[in-house]
Structure 1
Amino acid sequence: MITLKWKFTVSKTFTYKHVGSALLIAVFFIASFLRLYNLGDRPMHVDEAVHAIKFGELLEHNYYKYDPVEYHGPALNYLTLLPSCISGSKTLTDITESTLRIIPALCGIFMLAFFLFMKKSLGNRLLLIIILMISFSSLLIFYNRYYIQESLLAAFTFCLIISLYKYFISKKILWIILSGFFAGLMFASKETSIISFVCLTGSILFVRYSSNHSGLRTGTGIVPAIIFISVFISVSFLFFSSFFSNLIGPVDSLRAMVNYFTKAGQFPDHIQPWHYYFSLILFRKVGVIWFTEAFTLIFFVFGSISIIRKWNDAESENLFINIIFVFTLLLIIIYSIIPYKTPWSMMTFWTGCIIVSSYGIIRAIELSTERIKIIVLIISGIGLLHQAWQSYKTSFTYSYHPQNPFVYSHSTPDVKLISDLLIKITDGIPQKNNTSINITAANNDYWPLPWYLRSFKKVAWNENITHDIYLYPIILCSPELEAALIEKLYSVPPPGKVNLYIPLFDKYMELRSGMEIRGYIKKDLYDEYIRNQ
């Protein structure tokens, strides 16, 4: 009887272990699928196109100079060289949307994997819930599929927090080295990393002096600090100096802090009320579909209450959760106060909200009766399934739809149609390599067309109609400039040089929702194109 009991116990343990591993692998597979599948399907956002053109200089000319006013940090550009080299891309024309977007997507997956180092401290259940919640977060997935810096900033921030925590409890030098490394990558990603640094420092100090956790009171002397700062400065210097080719870059990175906070209130289109971020994730209806992250917010509130009630518990799990909790609250406060708001800016504090929410789910289960536990598990299961389904809808079905809560001034599919039409027309005439195009839009608001027309060698980009406009056989312009365009086309050319232009598009075309673009082509060029079909 003893032998049978012993065999049964081992078999049961073995089964649970492998079921847990299989579940974790399945979650990572789904998380990777949602972040990597069909990355090139959605039209390029304006910001993505700007960063892509900037990357083109590095790819084609091996030249990158940090600009403290625009473009953000250099990390995204240099990391994008990896998939470009692997794919054999040597020019911007060779690059695809998928090649660009894979780095932010992989950073999101890397952050998930890095949480596995927290297994011993958090326990299997809490770790699994955190990974599930982050894996299926519709907001995180949506912006992990964008070629912008925020995915890098969020990923490196939580890798830094995990590394610091691991150092606090183990005192192993490797973790303080990794902490400096991730801090350097954060700083090289985006100027707003300074906000995360301030909030994380404040969080650690608050937890140190307000709780009984001994991990923050020992082993934080001068030597670890020197190691951290040395690694941080080294990594930052490498990126901002363009690997020693632009020695003024690190100085410019400090100037960028002033520029960022100076211009934060200078863009009326991006000025939003303090509650803007949470208005995005509460409730939004598109047709018969409700988009909401209320499930996460409800358990975030419960998790916050539980953290405060267990503030002085000495468990290692609580040290990490306490730091995340204070860090997240500070980020929420600061980002809510700053008037300049874009939805992707909330990626870092929303990840913190998810961790606190996951803790709230575990505490709700632990504190409940057996019957209530079943209800909590059912609610959690429904919430996670809804998140996964919502992630698919926001990232695929409604990836550029204006009513998608995460879509912000996004390009329409018309930009691809315009590009395809121009390629088709120029390919259909003998002098295609010599065909010049003029793109004119008020305030230079013609993005993301520079990305989609990157294969054309003779393109003029302007914000006003120029006097030589009649020399261009193909013209695209914004509607408010149409009167000036017509006037110059037929009054400026010398006698015998006036050409007849006809509409290029047979339907209404938009760069972004509500932002029309109009096209014109010389009639003789269009006739030649038709003859060659």
Structure 2
Amino acid sequence: MKEKRIQKITLLIAFFVPVFIASFLRFWDIGLRPFHSDEGVNSFFLLNLFDRNYYHYDPANYHGPFLYYIGLIPFYLFGISDFTFRLMPALFGVMIVALFFPLRRRLGTMGLLTTGLLVAISPANAFFSRDTIHEIYLVFFSLAVVVSFFLYTETKKSRYIYFAATSIAFVITIKETYILTFAVYALSLAFAYCYEMISLSKGVRFLYCKDTFTAFANHCKKNRYAVGISVGILILITFLFYSSFFTYYSGIKSILTTLKIWTKTGTHSGGHTKPFFYYFKLLYKFEFPTLALGIAGFYYSFRHGNKFTVFIAAWAILIYVTYSLIPYKTPWLILNILLPLSIMGGIFVNSIFGMMKEKWHYAIFYPLFIGIFGFSCYQSLMLNFNNYDDERYELVYVQTKRDIYNLLDRLKSLSNTCGQNMAINVVSREYWPLPWYLREYKNAKFWGGIIENPNAPVIIVDKTSETELKKKLKGNYKKERFALRPGVWLTAYIQQGLYETGFGKEITAKTNTPSLAKISEKELERGLIAKYYYNIECIGTPFSSRVEKDSVSFIYNDETKKPYRSPFGIEWEGYLSITQKGVYQFATRSDDGSVVYIDGNMVVDNDDIHATRYISGVIPLDEGFHPVRIKYFDGGGGAIMEFLWTPPGEKESLVPGQILFHKR
């Protein structure tokens, strides 16, 4: 009796611990990461459905209808917010972990705990469960199909036929890649039965094959009503979603059309083409415990396995090969590979745990077990709460930069001056997810390009259209630049009067250079004061501030070697010691922009986004200390900055740290 109670408690721990961890990693500060551009598009369709009751499925446009209809539930219950928009994928991310519980007899208690932890703590699973995209729903219902099938083989209860049919229907309504999932399932199931048949003696194989088909036919006959109802459920759910609940019957025709369109997308993938081993590299870098334990599980499955373990092994191998062969690759597709690998890892750990007898076995096992998952937990925490927009981490893919929050803060400051009814013309060709964030600004218009009269209190334009915009501007504007996502830059043009009203104090602080009055060396210390910002305009509060005594010089040609995520800006300020009167040349060699001010005058203008570029300027200087301010920003890719000078009669070199000072 006591032993059964202990087993029950252990089983509950194996279930609830992963569920609790999954809940924390998916729900905590869920609005921290800016919306991905795909989320911006999805939010547009969802808001249309919520506000105007309008959604029509388009086979060429952003996958199936399930995401939008399931997303209505939290909107109706709790209102519109970042949290409610991301609530359902986070919830389904937790439900994936909970859905392993019905497989507890096949996984074992330790297998259930291991599989649950592998998915709960997985950096990729946690990361994409915090995104409102289709993949997490696809993974949940794909698992539900497998669970329903094997529960039926155990119990022969018809309700699992209904569960399977419902899950299959939802898979079809989520994403066109359902065809790959079902093909892999069919092949894996066939392989599992064939593997079991081959393990038998030759004389029994034919009888086994015959009995298998006979049993299948008998089950279909016995449960013909359940099968018929299940087919009806499948058709009804598919019809309801694709017809927009009987309001758009053309959506039904598109179920097959989408396969043709997305077959072309998968094979002609443009900028999303990746090499065959792309997913393996992601697994190795971010999901090594799952990869290692999953591979170890293959050995166990084929050596000691049954139909279930062989099916899972075949599923893992086939889904990996299938997605790796398709040229179109994005990091969230790795979730389809991680699911069976995690189950394989659980099967392997459970088998190892079952073989342990001695105390020293446990003394080795438990620290190793805790260490593995502790490392994964650290990776997951860093990715989801610190590096979530840092493209040096390959799971972060064309992610909106947190610099967008700086843009929103600037607009909020302006709206405090003239109200949220101020006109905002967004004439950028790239702007997602701004429609979501600017939904409260009733006069924010998204034109998709330069219009005949773009003038407004605030104009937002992308870098590629900026030259065309300048030709049509009337009046004086101040501009600030912001990173939307890698390779996409937005410039906010703000009418000068509004800018000065909204940011007057800040302008005064920024334009106040150190005093031009004579200053003695006793008042100074070596080095410039350097302030580091996670934006290119060096606005707001710096994330780091320190005195730097060396020359201003660094070269990071490799994105992964940079000490800070992009975009970042640096502002150095202090005094330049000049010991010889004359005309001096100053220069910067930088990637991206840099400017140099001496005595309050711009001497070097090497600003804007560009590859490595050298720009110089000259200024006459007297002996003494001269205020100097240097600004630099990096927008992505390489980060290079060199502050150079050519004193009278000398060769060009880095400005030495010995002549750079700051006020005590």
Any conservation in 2 of the 1:57–1:63 contact (CA below 8 Å)? yes
Structure 2 equivalent of residue 245 of structure 1:
247
Structure 1 equivalent of residue 301 of structure 2:
307
Any conservation in 2 of the 1:191–1:256 contact (CA below 8 Å)? yes
Q: CA deviation at 1:195?
A: 0.8
Structure 1 equivalent of residue 446 of structure 2:
461
Counterpart CA distance in 2 for 1:23 and 1:340 is 37
Counterpart CA distance in 1 for 2:107 and 2:3 is 23
From 471, 486, 492, the equivalent of 1:519 is 492
From 12, 17, 28, the equivalent of 1:26 is 17
Question: Any residues of structure 2 matched to 1:117-136 within 5 Å, and which?
Answer: 117-136=102-121
From 61, 71, 76, the equivalent of 2:67 is 76
From 417, 426, 429, the equivalent of 1:439 is 426
Structure 2 equivalent of residue 158 of structure 1:
143
Q: Are 1:501 and 2:501 counterparts?
A: no
Any conservation in 1 of the 2:100–2:116 contact (CA below 8 Å)? yes
Question: Any residues of structure 2 matched to 1:139-154 within 5 Å, and which?
Answer: 139-154=124-139
- Residue type of the alignment partner of 1:105: A
Deviations 1:122-166 (A, max 9, x none): 332322222222222121111111111100000110011100111
Structure 2 equivalent of residue 92 of structure 1:
none
Counterpart CA distance in 2 for 1:35 and 1:528 is 41
Any conservation in 1 of the 2:18–2:97 contact (CA below 8 Å)? no
- Residue type of the alignment partner of 2:402: P
- Count of residues in Structure 1 that have an aligned counterpart in Structure 2: 488
Counterpart CA distance in 2 for 1:382 and 1:479 is 47
Q: Are 1:201 and 2:190 counterparts?
A: no
Counterpart CA distance in 2 for 1:282 and 1:121 is 27
Larger fraction in strand: 2
Question: Any residues of structure 2 matched to 1:78-227 within 5 Å, and which?
Answer: 78-87=69-78, 89=79, 95-212=80-197, 217=213, 218-219=215-216, 220-221=219-220, 223=224, 225-227=227-229
Structure 2 equivalent of residue 347 of structure 1:
335
> Identity over the aligned pairs, expressed in percent?
28
When residues 117 and 20 of structure 1 are mapped into structure 2, their CA distance, relative to the original with a 3 A threshold, is closer
Structure 2 equivalent of residue 273 of structure 1:
275
From 389, 399, 402, the equivalent of 2:391 is 402
Q: CA deviation at 1:369?
A: 7.2
Counterpart CA distance in 2 for 1:158 and 1:64 is 28
Any conservation in 2 of the 1:281–1:405 contact (CA below 8 Å)? no
Structure 2 equivalent of residue 477 of structure 1:
461
Counterpart CA distance in 2 for 1:531 and 1:203 is 67
Structure 2 equivalent of residue 286 of structure 1:
none
From 17, 24, 30, the equivalent of 1:39 is 30
Specify the SS of the correspondent of 1:517.
strand
Q: CA deviation at 1:58?
A: 0.5
From 36, 48, 51, the equivalent of 2:42 is 51
Counterpart CA distance in 2 for 1:23 and 1:273 is 38
Q: CA deviation at 1:15?
A: 3.8
Question: Any residues of structure 2 matched to 1:7-26 within 5 Å, and which?
Answer: 10-22=1-13, 24-26=15-17
When residues 394 and 340 of structure 1 are mapped into structure 2, their CA distance, relative to the original with a 3 A threshold, is same
Q: Are 1:326 and 2:314 counterparts?
A: yes
Q: Structure 1: where are the runs of 5+ without partners?
A: 1-9, 90-94, 284-291, 312-317, 490-497
Structure 1 equivalent of residue 471 of structure 2:
487
When residues 266 and 476 of structure 1 are mapped into structure 2, their CA distance, relative to the original with a 3 A threshold, is farther
Any conservation in 2 of the 1:416–1:452 contact (CA below 8 Å)? no
Structure 2 equivalent of residue 495 of structure 1:
none
Any conservation in 1 of the 2:389–2:400 contact (CA below 8 Å)? yes
Counterpart CA distance in 2 for 1:310 and 1:143 is 34
- Per the normalisation by structure 1, the TM-score is 0.86
Q: CA deviation at 1:372?
A: 5.3
- Per the normalisation by structure 2, the TM-score is 0.69
From 345, 359, 363, the equivalent of 1:357 is 345
Counterpart CA distance in 2 for 1:172 and 1:229 is 17
Q: Structure 2: where are the runs of 5+ without partners?
A: 198-207, 507-664
Any conservation in 1 of the 2:110–2:346 contact (CA below 8 Å)? no
Specify the SS of the correspondent of 2:426.
strand
- Residue type of the alignment partner of 2:235: I
Q: CA deviation at 1:450?
A: 1.7
Any conservation in 2 of the 1:304–1:325 contact (CA below 8 Å)? yes
Any conservation in 2 of the 1:415–1:448 contact (CA below 8 Å)? no
Counterpart CA distance in 2 for 1:126 and 1:281 is 20
Q: CA deviation at 1:383?
A: 1.0
Q: CA deviation at 1:360?
A: 1.9
Q: CA deviation at 1:408?
A: 0.7
Of 62-71 and 116-125, more deviation after overlay is shown by 116-125
Q: Are 1:378 and 2:367 counterparts?
A: yes
Of 405-414 and 17-26, more deviation after overlay is shown by 17-26
Q: Which one has a bigger Cα radius of gyration?
A: 2
Of 447-456 and 180-189, more deviation after overlay is shown by 447-456
Counterpart CA distance in 2 for 1:350 and 1:396 is 21
Specify the SS of the correspondent of 2:99.
helix
Counterpart CA distance in 1 for 2:504 and 2:97 is 56
Any conservation in 2 of the 1:157–1:196 contact (CA below 8 Å)? yes
When residues 531 and 42 of structure 1 are mapped into structure 2, their CA distance, relative to the original with a 3 A threshold, is closer
Counterpart CA distance in 1 for 2:501 and 2:370 is 62
Any conservation in 2 of the 1:40–1:98 contact (CA below 8 Å)? yes
Specify the SS of the correspondent of 1:245.
coil
Of 414-423 and 177-186, more deviation after overlay is shown by 414-423
- Structure with the bigger RCO (C-alpha within 8 Å, sep 6+) is 1
Specify the SS of the correspondent of 2:440.
coil
Deviations 1:302-330 (A, max 9, x none): 1101111124xxxxxx3222222212211
Specify the SS of the correspondent of 1:438.
strand
Of 54-63 and 460-469, more deviation after overlay is shown by 460-469
Cα RMSD, aligned residues only: 2.4
When residues 532 and 293 of structure 1 are mapped into structure 2, their CA distance, relative to the original with a 3 A threshold, is closer
- Residue type of the alignment partner of 1:499: G
